Amino acid sequence: MKDDVTISLEAEKRHISEIARKYDIFDQELEPFGKWVAKIESSVYDRLKDKPNGKLILVTAITPTPFGEGKTTMTVGLVDSLNSIGKKTMGALREPSLGPVLGMKGGATGGGYAQVLPKEKINLHFTGDIHAITTTHNFLSAAIDNSLHFGNPLHLDLEKITWPRTLDMNDRAIREVQTEYRKDKFIITAASEIMAILCLAKDIKDLRQRLGDILIGYDVEGKEVHARALNIIDSMIILLQDALKPNLVQTLEHNGVLIHGGPFANIAHGCNSIIATQTALKLADYVVTEAGFGADLGAEKFIDIKTRYLGETPSVVVVVATLRALKYHGMAEGLSDLEALKIGIANLEKHTSNIRKFNLPYVIAINKFANDPDNELEFLMDWAKDNNHPISLAEVFLKGSVGGQDLAQKVVKLAENKHEVKRIYELSDDLFEKVEKIAQNIYGANAVVYSPKAQRKLKALNEQYHDYPVCVAKTPLSFSNDPKRRGMPHAFDLAIEDVRVSRGARFVVVLTKGIITMPGLPEVPNATKMFIDDLGNISGKL
């Protein structure tokens, strides 16, 4: 089988206006970026706002492994498979961050015969949205320091300025920096509050309010100082104006996907933009979207944070796993592959249990590879049948839409009945209750343990922001704080190191022990596996 980049580059692409017409998008509602990409004007949603929404399908996964489980591959494959059985379907994905693309993970455009195109543009600079977010964030940082330079008229306490700088790159050397005016730090753009705001804002009016609400720090009297005090909100909106529009691309099988926004699910809320999802729900009868990492992180935040602002909940949840990943979660010295699978399957069971707590129907999608042993697949299917888990062997990686039609049929059937979602916490719960409910119900923790700083800060925030959702920043590699404890939950207390409020995004971020908001490059970055010849032809791992 050809590698992903070769499949992508050799694929026939259709002009983006042709893809748009499949979804009744008019030419005048498109802002083309070359032949294969276009931004969608807000007039599309305005024109269709009274049309009933399509059904929302959420794709999540088990606890991630170094191999990847193929969540984006399954999302793209399901879009193609649903279309192939006559269901008008659109995808809604996040934009890849350059940090992981060049660092650890490589691209995020699917794989095999379930990809979005043009792969190389989407994974790199694309339409400049992430650059616009980075620039807007850093302009606010510059404006803060400029205010300090000219006499500090806002009376900011230099030790209590909370707004950092950002860069869409894995660069551990700038986690802590000293500027001319204050101690500062960099976070990756995917963790920026501007990124979260862009993904949660419904329109320019909402964007204006959220940007103005950003907490930049505290004054010498201990009072909050917000971004609107700097009188630069309009300029920030101007920088973000184009980035607020969703980007339309196509799958290998020429179906539409909106790619917009890119927050991480371990340090942010991990979902694509509300604007893109809302627009897709008007354009298609089914919308397939994904949430980052496993059901303990991305799916929980999708339901407990995003859907509160979206006003729509999933009709079905797809939980992605692979044999290789399940064996990884159960592997120990001396065990056979089948024995490791029998142990590792507990990780899948915990994630499906999490989805059941939301009262949502689900189907397990096994991302099947050509060398998966028949006896292991048979054991997995028997386990699912014996435990009443809907399951499908999906071969979208190998076969495209044909390989996912069984999954598509099961999704359609499950989506027939409306389910009333149950959330893990109510907004009326205080912040400590929300953290405890997530930790115990979703992660399986015995208790929550706070550092003195985190305890003090959360208590203070609880007085003003008790009704905000909670966004837990935690390693995606384990249910606990320890990324090396893979597999099933074990006896642990969830350790909280710090807390902050994302006032514009309107959630409280709880940072667990060990979490970092500016990743570093691995010893051998993924960038060393990308190649381009003198004619501009790209190959390798992108």
The binding site for ATP comprises: 65-72
Write the CA distances from 122 to 63, 190, 192, 351, 430, integer angstroms. Answer: 25, 15, 20, 30, 40
CB atoms within 10 A of CB 131: 16
- Gap between the Cα atoms of 45 and 243, Å rounded: 16
Q: How many CB atoms lie within 10 A of CB 372?
A: 17
Tokens of 14: 């259709």
Angle between helices 374-386 and 323-330 (to 10 degrees): 80
Strand partners, 394: 367
Annotated binding site: 65-72
Three-class SS state of 184: strand
Residues facing 215 on adjacent strands: 226
**Alpha carbon 252 to chain centroid distance?**
22
What is the number of H-type helices and E-type strands within the chain?
20, 25
Name the strand (E) or helix (H) holding 378.
helix 374-386
> Considering only CA atoms, which of 353, 347, 357, 383 is closest in space to residue 489?
347
Q: How far is CA 185 from CA 22, 179, 374, in A?
A: 46, 9, 51
Helix (H, G, I), strand (E, B) or coil at 385: helix
For helices 337-357 and 374-386, give the axis angle rounded to 10 degrees. 30
Bridge partners of 422?
Answer: none
What backbone torsions phi and psi does residue 345 show, to the nearest 5 degrees? -65, -20
3-class secondary-structure state, position 432: helix
| Residue of 271, 204, 297 whose CA lies nearest to 56 | 271
Rounded CA separation 451/432 (Å): 13
